[in-house]
Chains A and B, each alone.
Chain A
Amino acid sequence: MTQLKRLSQEAERSLVRRLKAGDERALRELYDVLAPWVLGLAFRILQDVDEAEEVVGDVFVQVWRRIDQHDSRRGPLVPWILSIARNRSLDALRRRRRWWRKVERWERARGAGEGGDVEPASAPHEASVPGWPVHREVHAALEALPEEQRGVVLLAYFEGLTHSEIARRLGQPLGTVKTRLRIAQAKLAEALAHVKDWLA
Chain B
Amino acid sequence: MTDWLGMAAHPRPPRPELKGRVVARALASRRRGAWLGAAAVLAFLVGGGGAFWAYRTIDALTAERDRLAAQVEALHDTVATFIHGPATRLIQIPVSTGGRVGAVTIFADSLRHRWLVRCDGLAPNAPDQAYQLWFITRDGMKSAALMPMDTDQPMVMNHNW
Contact = CB atoms under 8 A, between A and B. Distances in A.
Nearest to B9: A44
Contacts of B11: 36-37, 39-40, 126, 129, 131-132, 135
A40 B23 contact: no
The A contact surface, by secondary structure, is helix
The B contact surface, by secondary structure, is helix
B3 A79 contact: yes
A64 B13 contact: no
Nearest to B24: A57
B8 interface: yes
Interface of A: 22, 24, 27-28, 31-32, 35-37, 39-41, 43-45, 52-53, 56-57, 60-61, 63-65, 75, 78-79, 82-83, 85-86, 118-119, 123, 126, 129, 131-132, 134-135, 138-139, 142, 153, 157-158, 184-186, 188-189, 192, 195
B4 interface: yes
B89 interface: no
Nearest to B29: A61
A40 B9 contact: yes
A134 B15 CA distance: 23
Given A27-B23, A75-B3, A118 B8 contact: yes
Given A31-B19, A31-B22, A138 B4 contact: yes
Given A57-B22, A75-B3, A64 B9 contact: no
B25 interface: yes
Contact of A60 (B2, B8, B15, B23): B23
B126 interface: no
B93 interface: no
A173 B29 CA distance: 46
What are the 4 closest A-B residue pairs judged by CB atoms, nearest first? A82-B6, A36-B11, A44-B9, A79-B3
A132 B13 CA distance: 13
Contacts of A185: 1
B100 interface: no
A60 B22 CA distance: 7
B10 A64 contact: no
B30 interface: yes
20 contacts: A31-B22, A36-B13, A39-B11, A40-B12, A43-B9, A56-B22, A60-B26, A61-B25, A65-B29, A82-B3, A83-B3, A83-B6, A119-B9, A123-B10, A131-B7, A135-B10, A135-B11, A138-B8, A157-B2, A158-B9
